[in-house]
Amino acid sequence: MSTVNAEVQGEAPVLFEERAAANGKRIGVATLNAARTLNGLSLEMARLLDNQLHAWAEDKAIAVVVLQGAGEKAFCAGGDLHGLYRSMLEYRAGGRHDIRDNAYASNFFAVEYRLDYRIHTYPKPVLCWGHGIVMGGGIGLMAGASHRVVTERSRLAFPEITIGLYPDVGGSWLLHRVPALGGLFLALTGAPLNAGDAMYAGMADVHIEERHRQDVFAALAQANWSDHGDANGTLLTELLQGHASPAKPGPLQAHRELIGKLCSQDGLAAIVQAIAGITQDDPWLITARDTLAAGSLGSARLAYELQQRAASLSLAEVFCLEYIVSLHCAAHGDFAEGIRALLIDKDRQPRWHPATLAEATPAWADTFFRAPWPEGEHPLVNLGDTAYGVSKS
């Protein structure tokens, strides 16, 4: 095993290893190394990951890449909210009005979205071990992996409704594809998914008990890898299936019919009203209802509008659109207030603006889709350059 990252392993925000495998091949292993913050993704971590994934893509000896998180609690619980919060305060204190002037937010979202898109279009198999908490930015990393493992302790969610953002990192594209309008429900309520529901929703591929992780790693080292990404992907699928076990269906599946009915109402206002009227004696449904009631209705509107638009866009186009919306959220939306209430002052009393759905109109949302760049100068306009010839529609 060789260490690629030159920093001291105990301090490096991401650990990179190359493990010897059969046929002279190697397994690249990237470990998010911030267990105390549940492996929250910082700008530095995203840059390190993106650079190393690019290098491994070009290295013919690397057969498979593994993404995992340090510690027992989380793969990745989201993005660097504290850093984004500080940048938003500085931006707003300076009286600025151009969304491009928040340098940290502009860089963070650009690097993160490029990284996520690189994973979606990677030319080699990527195994993401999604143990424990996988939320927001963590789903952004996991969603594009070719082989996504969940365990008995996996909990996936897009909880942005509680912090004044929306399900970004390609979430508009991903959630639009959840069966029976389940993705809209998840976006509006932040409801968590267990392993079975994550697989049903298309966010995971296989359930393997956590106690078998090292068995899987041992099998990776013994597998007969080739020079062909597709063949190695098939081999990895077979290897994982050899350790897989069934995952029990979760509440998203149990309430599929009800959720479909709630979210098929005519327009967002009717959908929000229908969810508010949930009376079933089920803790998951009640928590979902109450989370929406306490959440940012501006976020609800943006999530709804984005899923409508994502229906006709490619994944690259969705990332480009989300980048514009995210910078607007950092400039003048509820994002800073949501972080303040949840993580800074911790009073859990956010003062949302707009305060009502009647104020969060489609016309209000349209202002978040206005790009400040001339046509052809969007920072992610060349996103497809990282796609390795793969297109996701």
Domains, the chain, in order of start with CATH, read: 2-386 (3.90.226.10)
Quote the mean pLDDT of the chain: 95
| Entry pTM | 0.95
How buried is 214 (Cβ within 10 angstroms: 0-12 exposed, 13-18 middle, 19+ buried)?
A: exposed
| pLDDT at residue 96 in the model | 87
Indicate the pLDDT class of residue 2, thresholds 50, 70 and 90: very low
Q: Exposure pattern of 266-285 as b/e (b: 16+ CB <10 Å)? A: eebbebbeebeebeeeeebb
| pLDDT at residue 11 in the model | 82
C-beta of residue 45 within 8 angstroms of C-beta of residue 8:
no
Look at residue 269 and tell me whether its pLDDT is greater than 70: yes
| pLDDT at residue 10 in the model | 58
CA distance 78 to 34: 12
How buried is 209 (Cβ within 10 angstroms: 0-12 exposed, 13-18 middle, 19+ buried)?
A: middle
CA distance 156 to 178: 14
Indicate the pLDDT class of residue 135, thresholds 50, 70 and 90: very high
Indicate the pLDDT class of residue 6, thresholds 50, 70 and 90: very low
CA distance 206 to 125: 15
| pLDDT at residue 4 in the model | 38
23: tokens are 């046929």
368: tokens are 């978040």
Share of the chain above pLDDT 70, in %: 95
The 10 Å Cβ neighbour count of residue 301 is 23
Reported as a single tens digit per residue, the pLDDT across 17-41 is 999 998 899 999 999 999 999 999 9
Reported as a single tens digit per residue, the pLDDT across 42-97 is 999 999 999 999 999 999 999 999 999 999 999 999 999 999 999 999 999 999 88
Distance of CA 359 to CAs 50, 147, 164, 354, 362, Å? 40, 42, 15, 6, 9
Region 355-367 average pLDDT = 97
CA distance 129 to 150: 7
| Positive or negative torsion for Cα 115, 67, 202, 240 | positive
Look at residue 125 and tell me whether its pLDDT is greater than 60: yes
Share of the chain above pLDDT 90, in %: 92
Return the minimum-mean-pLDDT range out of 47-51, 132-136, 277-281, 380-384. Answer: 380-384
Indicate the pLDDT class of residue 146, thresholds 50, 70 and 90: very high
